[in-house]
Amino acid sequence: MDLKSSKTNLRACDRNNQDKRFGTVGLAHAQSDTGASPMNDLIAQTIDTPLPQIRTVTSADASRLSALTAGSLHWMLEDDRPEVGICRLAAFAGDEPVGLLLSCKGGDDLQELTSVMVAKAWRGRGIATMLLSELMKQLRQIGRKGVFARWSSQLPRASEFARLLASAGWSQPQVTRRRMSWRIGDWPQAFPDRDRILARLEARGLVVRSLAELGADGIADFTAQNTALIAAGRAPEWSDTSGWLQVADQDATVVLSDRNGAVAGWMVCVLQPQFGRWYIPQGWVVAEKVPLGWLVGGIASLCRRLEAKAGPDAILIAQPPAGIPGGMERMLYKQFGDHTVATDFLFESEFVFASPEQCEI
């Protein structure tokens, strides 16, 4: 993601968005002495509809907001861990919640917009725009650099969401990842030579160990080598596993090395209980080992271990960055793309806040 490419001016954008709706009658930006958000200070209303109020909501409100997001995200209504950095905003018409926006902390000082939903009867009146605008205001106050969203090409009404972001000044959506999922028990069709290929690679020097097999000392050694490979430019920054090892499955996460113990690759596997599936958030093999088939070998070993642990109905999902020559996405799609249970693309859009100097207009 090129964070420097966004030239959008937030202040101008926010003002446009605030003025755009509910502004036909009596729009005013009154200063509140209650400390409430300026959005709440808008005393505009349409001819017959009172202006919904945007409020920060807490985990205590979870049960009455759950209809306004997907079941798989209900945990975000209740999770108060500071490190997850969840920001929840709701729109209320009187006491009735009519819109909800959920976001959490992402990498690089950005916030991730995870969900925004407006009750059907209230759509098209600027409520999502108001929620977004309030989110941006709060994020700037807490010093985030910006906000991004990632969504599936299969998202129902994805075009409405994309238009919402575009009209709020976000960047043009880009396809960043191809997401593929497989049923582990389907491997005989998808990967008929799996065991033979793995045996051949191992005979030629590939050593694959799970975290459980490495043990504490082995994991410490792996972590040190992971860091050294990144420092030497032989692995990218994003392949740093330190953020994942705490949650990685000990039996299905694999480290690839040669017979001398020199680490040359790794594939992290994590259970996502809220989705009932297993996920590979990271997989990397150093360039010189890719032509030797180590990428395929790592996947073969991971799948075999996962089948032994979770059974044939386990679903494994990967969403590697799209379009990197020689990368994981090309390999997975070429080798196993015909046997997925689902494939989609992930779009990404962002809004990076202008620095204060750039905001002067």
Q: Is 338 in the site for ligand COA (CB under 6 A)?
A: no
Cα 295 → chain centroid: 24
Mapped onto helix, strand or coil, the DSSP state of residue 222 is: helix
Nearer to ligand COA among residue 161 and residue 266 (C-beta): 161
Picking from 170, 184, 169, 175, the residue whose alpha carbon sits closest to that of residue 154 is: 175
Least distance to ligand COA from the beta carbon of 27, Å? 16
- Which residue, 42 or 314, is less far from ligand COA as judged by CB? 42
**SS3 assignment, position 118:** strand
Secondary element (H or E) of residue 78: helix 75-78
Terminal CA-CA length for the chain:
27
353 token code pair: 């806040």
Report if residue 118 touches ligand COA, rule: CB under 6 A.
yes
Binding mask 69-108 for ligand COA (x = CB under 6 A): ----------------------------------------
Site string for ligand COA, 142-181 (x = CB under 6 A): ---------x---x-x--xx-xx--x--------------
Please, which of residues 122-141 interact with ligand COA by CB under 6 A?
123-129
Binding flag, residue 115, ligand COA (CB under 6 A): yes
Nearer residue to ligand COA within complex by CB, 97 or 265: 97
9 vs 335 by CB, closer to ligand COA: 9
Q: How far is the CB of 185 from ligand COA (least distance, A)?
A: 32
Rounded to whole angstroms, what are the CA distances from 239 to 180, 298, 347? Answer: 20, 15, 21
Which residues in the chain belong to E strands, given as ranges?
53-56, 87-93, 96-105, 110-118, 146-152, 174-183, 207-210, 254-257, 263-272, 277-285, 315-318, 342-352
Report the residue number, 66 or 167, with the smaller CB distance to ligand COA. 167
Applying CB under 6 A, the residues found at the interface with ligand COA are 115-118, 123-129, 151, 155, 157, 160-161, 163-164, 167
